[in-house]
Structure 1
Amino acid sequence: MRAVVQYGTGGPDVLKVEDRPEPTRKSGEVLVRTEAIGVPFYETQLRSGLIPAGSAPGVFGHEAAGIVVEADDPSLHGKRVVTMSFTGGAYAEVVAASQYTLVPDTITPEQAVAAAVPASVALALMNAADVKAGETVLVEAASGAIGGYLARLAGQKGAHVVETSGNGKADIDHNDPDWRQKLPDGIDVVFESIGGPRAAELLAKLAPHGRILAYGLLSGEFPTFPVAGLVARGITLIGFGGPDAYGKRVAAVRAEALGLVADGTLTPVLDRTYPLADVAAAHARVESREGAGKVVLVP
């Protein structure tokens, strides 16, 4: 099969397309012939070494949609699923995965992979935040895959949504170093995905008893908040990451998220589609942050 193998860390050129043996399915896993592969921003950080990852070389990638060709349960054969792997292997024509979700018939594989992970992350974050009608919600990086779904879900709850973006497509340009000073006062919920030491400046803009949900590292650094600033105004800081969030809470709502896509409540946003051979160009596109929505590889 054709697959993308990561050789060391660095720029997109460390990803090489080559022939590899098909993976062997273990008990409890499904073997899937891929039709669409997601390219999320965090994978560019894994590839570059900004986020520590496993040893290379190995088949790269974590999110894919396709047709089941082998499974413990014969009734799954021929079904379309979306898969999530924490150990890689998705940038390939065939992937073995233990975490998978059936895809509704009305959703294309490109739509499925564009929505499955980011929409379910957004839904899990919304559940954790308990956003209510009339609240003011700040969504950082709202032109990104997860941020876009968060903005839509919060708006559907009746919240007033304030969006940031680095491409001029939102209320606030977060490429401006002082963008936090331009936010309105009285924010109830912050979906924090940029990080860095200046995240603490958000505290002055939060309403008493506001909530901050920290889930992303677009800056490459964890957000920094002084405990005194949180305690003095009753601010709740919720960290959202790791196996508990992504292996349990996100996985638990993935079918619901795909159902929201199927019934038209959420519309997947696709940025661009690239053939597997153009994986370097796909990564460069994601890193440029020029687009909006999901970049997808097609085997």
Structure 2
Amino acid sequence: MRAVVQHGTGGPEVLELEDRPEPTRNSGDVLIRTEAIAVPFYETQMRSGQIPAGPAPAVFGHEAAGIVLDADDPALLGKRVVTMSFTGGAYAEVVAASQYSLVPDGITAEQAVAAAVPASVALGLMDAANVKAGETVLVEAVSGAIGGYLARLAERNGARVVATAGQGKADIDHDDPDWRQQVPEGIDVVFEAIGGPRAAELTAKLAFFGRILAFGMLSGELPVFSVADLIPRGLTLIGFGGPDAYGKRVAAVRAEALGLVADGTLTPVLDRAYPLADVAAAHARVESREGTGKVVLVP
């Protein structure tokens, strides 16, 4: 099979298309012929070395959708599923998966892989934040996959959304180093996706007893808060990441997220699709942040 292998860390050139043996399926796994593979921003950070990745060389990638070729349960054969793996292996024509979700009828593989993880993360964040009607929420990086779903879910809950995005894609341009000063006061919930040492500046913008959900680090750095930042306003800081949050809390709402796509509540936004051989161009596109929505690879 063809697969994209990561050779060390660096620019997109460390990803090379190679011939590799098909993976073997363990008991309980499914073997998937991939139809679409997501290229999320965090993978560009893993490739570049900003955040830890597994040993190299190895088949890269974590999110894929496709048709089941082999499974313990014969009823799964021919079904479309979507999977998220913490151990890599998704940038390939065939993937073995231990965790997977059935894709509802009427959803394409590209739509499934564009929605499964980010929409599930957004649902998990909304549940953790307990967003109520009438509240005001700050969604950082609204032009990204997770941010876009968060904004739609918050509005669906009756909340008012204040959004940031780079390159002028929202009223608040977070490419401006002082963008936090433009945030209005009285924010009830912050969905913190950017991170960095200046994240604590937002605490002055929160209403009393507001909540901060820290789940991303688009800046390449974790957000920095101290207890002294939180106490004066009675703020709650909730961390949302790692295998427990993504592997358990997020996986628990994946079927619900896909159901919201199937019934039209959430609409996956696709930026561009690239053939597997153009993986470097796909990574460059994601890193440019010029698009809106999900970049996918098509084997």
Q: Within the alignment, does 1:88 sit opposite 2:88 as a pair? A: yes
CA distance in 1, matches of 2:137, 2:211: 10
Local SS of the residue matching 1:207: strand
- CA distance in 2 between counterparts of 1:48 and 1:169 reads 25
**Secondary structure in structure 2 of the residue aligned to 1:244:** helix
Matched ranges for 1:98-113 at <5 A: 98-113=98-113
Q: Distance in 2 between matches of 1:229 and 1:298?
A: 45
**Equivalent residue number for residue 290 of structure 2:** 290
Task: Give unpaired runs (5+ residues) of structure 1.
Answer: none
Deviations 1:179-231 (A, max 9, x none): 00111000000000000010010010000000000000100111111211202
Describe the superposition over 1:141-182 as per-residue Cα deviations: whole angstroms up to 9, x where unpaired: 000000000000001111010000002111200000110011
CA distance in 2, matches of 1:177, 1:134: 29
Query: TM-score scaled by structure 2?
Result: 0.99
Letter in 2 for 1:277: A
Query: Structure 2, unaligned stretches of length 5 or more?
Result: none
* 1:251 partner amino acid: A
CA distance in structure 2 between the aligned counterparts of 1:295 and 1:167, rounded to whole angstroms: 18
- Root-mean-square deviation (Å): 0.5
SS at match of 2:50: coil
Deviation at 1:267, TM superposition (A): 0.2
SS at structure 1 position matched to 2:100: strand
Identity %: 84
**Amino acid in the other structure paired with 1:145:** A
SS of alignment partner, residue 197 of structure 1: coil
> Is the aligned partner of 1:164 residue 2:164?
yes
Q: Secondary structure at the match of 1:10?
A: coil
Q: What residue is the counterpart of 2:234 in the other structure?
A: 234
Alignment of 1:55-204 (within 5 A): 55-204=55-204
Offset, 1:243: 1.2
CA distance in 1, matches of 2:259, 2:196: 35
Deviation of the 1:272 alpha carbon: 0.4
Q: Name the CA distance, whole Å, in 1 between partners of 2:242 and 2:128.
A: 15
Could you list the structure 1 runs, at least 4 aligned residues long, displaced by more than 3 angstroms after superposition. Answer: none
Q: Distance in 1 between matches of 2:224 and 2:85?
A: 29
> TM-score normalised to the size of structure 1?
0.99
The residue number in structure 1 matching 2:44 is 44
Distance in 1, matches of 2:171 and 2:238, equals 25
Match of 1:3 in 2: 3
Q: Partner of 1:256: helix, strand, or coil?
A: helix
Q: Report SS of the residue matched to 1:291.
A: coil
The total of aligned residue pairs comes to: 299
For 1:99, what is the secondary structure of its paired residue? coil
